[in-house]
């Protein structure tokens, strides 16, 4: 598996990838995870995890992605006992390893969150765009996290639509679970939140794509019982995003209090979700948001903007979707849930049921194992070919 970043570096794809790696171990999959050591003091070069090893490759700060690609390709040549290359995300770091896998006749798949919506927040130059397009066309399979993305990727010129497979992110539904009332009170005490507050939580990097500022802007006209908003996640790299967050915070009325947590570990995230009354996600673009999955598994009533990924999770129940950029509808929906414990309970229970039926991590790991098996089978028209594993991956 190849990653642009893994924890402790902040990366939703990395967090999800490590969870998948651990779950795949139960299906007999041994994994070597390759990534960059961009901050030498933060993580070791080699680390053992359940199901395999993490190898962090030294790269310079400038142009690190291209160097990671070259270092990863070199590592794959020096250690030839691998069957499949699984790339998480797609960037300059992926092009050389994918090209190498093609030359060696080894199957490769890309799990991607890239979409035309998300591309607006990470523009690419012409050379990089051509390299990424060639990588897509050359992969044996592309895993799309949402149905919208599956349709979009299936229309790329030069690729066969059957190469694109929708497999969503998964969530550990034992770790993220609904709380008892006593646990809710305990978690609020641990986090320093008032026991009787009406708590709205959001998780994610504070940047333009996650659009957290929209939640704060929506709350600026709040009248009525006090609301406590919890922002959990690090700042984005863009100074203008930080300035917008600061301006929005300064414009909140006295009836809206805000607590900020920049870095929470997994246990603290689970505690926050058990403490929340409502979870809000105001993203402008998503692949399939881990935070929303975790909130659903925790039985929290969820409100999200109607974008790909979030739409896959909530369109069939378990939460409310609101139009992008409609802050009036966003806040009206949030306050309506805060005012109605019965509606919160109903949505939270439906969200948990949706996770159990479609997004539990063990079931997602089984689908990846089936996809791996299909990629290692003989190709159509050759002896021994069967489409059974690929159908298992699609279900």
Q: What CATH code is carried by the domain that includes residue 50?
A: 3.40.50.2000
- Is the domain of 327 the same as that of 382? no
Q: Give the range of the structural domain holding residue 166, as residue numbers without chain letter.
A: 2-170+361-394
336 close to 343: Cβ distance less than 8 angstroms: yes
Separation of alpha carbons 204 and 311, rounded Å: 17
Separation of alpha carbons 128 and 120, rounded Å: 15
- Is the domain of 226 the same as that of 108? no
Contact residues for 332 (Cβ-Cβ < 8 A; gap 6+): none
- Is the domain of 227 the same as that of 271? yes
Going 190 to 194 to 200 to 202, the CA torsion angle's sign is negative
- Is the domain of 226 the same as that of 273? yes
Residue 344 lies in a domain: yes
Angle at 307 between CA 236 and CA 243, to 5 degrees: 25
- Is the domain of 292 the same as that of 373? no
- Is the domain of 243 the same as that of 368? no
Which tokens go with 29? Answer: 């999959």
- Is the domain of 82 the same as that of 226? no
> Domain total for the chain?
2
- Which of 17, 47, 248 has its CA nearest to residue 143? 17
pLDDT of residue 180: 93
pLDDT of residue 381: 47
Phi, psi of 262, deg, nearest 5: -80, -40
- Is the domain of 147 the same as that of 206? no
Which tokens go with 186? Answer: 């305990």
Residue 144 lies in a domain: yes
Phi, psi of 27, deg, nearest 5: -110, 20
Residue 176 lies in a domain: no
pLDDT per residue, tens digit, the chain (395 aa), is: 999 988 888 778 888 999 999 999 999 999 999 999 877 667 889 999 888 899 999 999 888 999 999 999 999 999 999 999 999 987 889 889 999 999 999 999 999 865 544 444 455 456 556 656 666 766 899 898 887 787 777 666 555 545 788 899 999 999 999 999 999 999 999 999 999 999 999 999 889 889 999 999 999 999 999 999 999 998 888 888 889 999 999 999 999 999 999 888 889 999 999 999 999 999 998 888 999 999 999 999 999 999 988 998 998 888 999 999 999 999 999 999 999 999 999 999 999 999 999 999 999 999 999 999 999 987 554 444 345 566 677 76
Name the strands in the sheet holding 278-281, side by side, starting at the edge strand that comes first in the sequence: 256-261, 227-232, 199-203, 278-281, 301-305, 319-322
pLDDT of residue 121: 44
- Is the domain of 13 the same as that of 55? yes
- Is the domain of 390 the same as that of 350? no
- Which of 303, 306, 311, 305 has its CA nearest to residue 337? 303
Element (H, E) at 278: strand 278-281
pLDDT of residue 127: 58
Separation of alpha carbons 60 and 74, rounded Å: 16
Work out the burial of residue 6: count CB atoms within 10 Å of its CB; fewer than 13 is exposed, 13-18 middle, 19 or more buried: buried
Which tokens go with 292? Answer: 């929303």
Residue 175 lies in a domain: no
Q: Write down the pTM of the prediction.
A: 0.87
- Is the domain of 343 the same as that of 368? no
- Is the domain of 271 the same as that of 323? yes
Residue 95 lies in a domain: yes
Separation of alpha carbons 140 and 73, rounded Å: 18
Residue 28 lies in a domain: yes
């Amino acid at each position: 598996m190849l990653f642009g970043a893994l924890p402790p570096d902040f990366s939703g794809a990395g967090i999800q990838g490590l969870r998948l790696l651990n779950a795949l171990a139960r299906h007999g999959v041994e994994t070597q995870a390759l990534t960059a050591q961009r901050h030498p003091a933060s993580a070791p070069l080699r680390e053992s995890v359940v199901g395999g090893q993490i190898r962090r490759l030294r790269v310079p700060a400038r142009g690190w992605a291209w160097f990671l690609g070259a270092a990863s390709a070199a590592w794959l040549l020096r250690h030839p006992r691998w069957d499949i290359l699984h790339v998480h995300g797609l960037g300059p770091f992926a092009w050389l390893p994918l090209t190498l896998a093609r030359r060696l006749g080894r199957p490769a798949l890309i799990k991607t969150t890239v979409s035309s919506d998300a591309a607006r927040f990470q523009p690419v130059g012409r050379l990089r765009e051509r390299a990424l397009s060639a990588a897509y066309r050359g992969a044996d399979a592309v895993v799309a996290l949402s149905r919208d993305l599956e349709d979009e990727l299936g229309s790329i010129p030069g690729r066969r639509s059957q190469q694109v497979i929708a497999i969503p992110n998964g969530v550990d539904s034992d770790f993220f679970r609904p709380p008892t009332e006593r646990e809710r009170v305990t978690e609020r005490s641990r986090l320093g939140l008032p026991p009787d507050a009406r708590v709205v939580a959001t998780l994610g990097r504070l940047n333009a794509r996650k659009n957290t500022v929209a939640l704060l802007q929506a709350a600026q006209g709040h009248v009525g019982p006090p609301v406590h908003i919890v922002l959990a996640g690090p700042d984005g790299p863009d100074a203008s995003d930080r300035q917008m967050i600061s301006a929005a915070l300064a414009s909140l009325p006295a009836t809206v209090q805000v607590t900020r947590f920049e870095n929470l570990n997994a246990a603290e995230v689970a505690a926050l979700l058990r403490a929340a009354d409502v979870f809000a996600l105001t993203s402008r673009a998503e692949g399939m948001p881990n935070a929303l999955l975790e909130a659903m598994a925790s039985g929290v009533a969820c409100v999200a903007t109607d974008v790909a990924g979030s739409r896959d999770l909530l369109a069939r129940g378990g939460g409310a979707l609101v139009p992008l950029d409609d802050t009036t509808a966003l806040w009206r929906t949030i306050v309506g849930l805060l005012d109605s414990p019965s509606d919160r309970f109903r949505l939270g229970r439906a969200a948990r049921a949706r996770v159990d039926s479609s997004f539990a991590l063990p079931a997602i790991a089984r689908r990846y194992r089936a996809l791996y098996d299909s990629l290692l089978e003989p190709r159509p028209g050759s002896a021994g070919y069967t489409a059974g594993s690929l159908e298992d991956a699609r279900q």
